[in-house]
A and B are shown apart, each in its own frame.
Chain A
Amino acid sequence: MDYDELARRLQAREERAFLDFAEAFARPARALFLSLGLPPFEAEDLVSVCMSDIPLKKVHRYRARTDGSFRAWTFTVLRNAAMDWKRRNRGKRVPLVDDVAQAETVEVMPRVERVAAVQEALLELNPGDRQIVELRHLGENRTFEEIGEILNISAATARVRHHRALNRLEELLRSDSRIHLKDTAATESSGQG
């Protein structure tokens, strides 16, 4: 994905860009917040607020720079949102990260990068196959019978398309170094919502 192009489209207020922003960043943002120690429900709630607030209130401040892309800038904003949340909710002073490079190298990033890699690979699938993977594995835990009913296809067809989608995901991710990074995050959550 061309993240700086996404930033430009957001700044132009293109409707599709707002959805693309949520598709690209919601799951990695959730992983970041969990890794930073936010409770699962609060993490998901804060992500949804960020999916509104960043494109609406902050993206106009973004300027393409040589030392960081829109992706890195967004992770910095997300990280600061998590720090703000912790400060508001625990009364502790937590240093804010205001440096793009720092946000990219902190210890929580392996887990976040793994989720980002999955999300980017999902966006390479065709929308129907992506929806099957999401329904089956990434939230709703649906059976193939249920997926078939939702998509108006047979369970057998859902199974075949699911198989094909997983093979494609495997292809896309097999050589992605982010998938095989060692997760050194001190605070690991179960990730259950």
Chain B
Amino acid sequence: MADTPRFDDTIEDPISPEWLWEALDAARTSPDFMAKCRDAALAAHDISQLRHESEEMGFACTPFHDYVGDLARRRGLPLDRVMRWLDITNLECLDRAAIRPLARLGQDLGLSAREVCVLLRASLAVQAKYAALPLPAHRGPDRATVTPLVACSLTLEEIEGHYPPALQDHLRMICREVEAQFEAGDAHS
């Protein structure tokens, strides 16, 4: 980076004491530093609002992007600042490189690794056309006693039993990536 210009081609800066220039130099940053910090702060605000909504709404057996979209709609928030900050281009993308940012979002929303994994499993089931929305309710004999999260997981297990091997592999990859993100996130928090 070039030194701070004390003068430009045509106009002189005012004469100020050296200590003021030194103080300003100490506070100098790269050009986009403050903009990036403001973006981070606004994304944090939006995530905090979504997190609050998630705490009120509780778990829902639905694809990940629908869950997050519902939170945003209920709060009246656009998701663009959050997605830009977390480097997410598409909430529905389930490629390997896309999973950790989605898991990070889930983690920031206060979801557990298991909850995020189940939401992403629901995304995969719907995208691979092994299930339609709304997902069927769990019908086992324990249906009155299990939590919504467990019931959703059991429903998905039934569906996933019909997956071909390649889709099974993709499913395992998703869960591994989610676990890895949570472990990394926990270590840094």
Contacts and interface: CB of A to CB of B under 8 A. Distances in A.
Given A48-B37, A139-B34, A144 B45 contact: no
Contact of B24 (A53, A137, A143): A137
Contacts of B162: none
A51 B37 contact: yes
A18 B42 contact: yes
A139 B44 contact: no
A134 B11 contact: no
B44 A170 contact: no
A117 B23 CA distance: 9
A149 interface: no
A68 interface: no
A13 interface: yes
A137 B52 contact: no
A141 B4 contact: yes
Given A48-B37, A141-B2, A114 B44 contact: no
B40 A48 contact: yes
Contact of A52 (B19, B34, B41, B52): B41
Contacts of B4: 137, 141
- Interface size on A, as a range, is 35 or more
A141 B38 contact: no
B40 A51 contact: yes
A29 B85 CA distance: 20
B110 to A, nearest CB: 10
Contacts of B85: 52
Interface in A26-72: 26-27, 30-31, 40-41, 44, 47-49, 51-53, 55-57
Interface string B8-27: 11110110110110011111
Interface of A: 13, 15, 18-19, 21-23, 26-27, 30-31, 40-41, 44, 47-49, 51-53, 55-57, 84, 88, 111, 114-115, 117-119, 133-134, 136-141, 143-145, 155, 159, 162-163, 166-167, 169-170, 173, 179-180, 191-193
Return the 7 tightest CB-CB contacts between A and B, nearest first: A193-B30, A22-B41, A52-B40, A56-B44, A26-B37, A18-B45, A143-B8
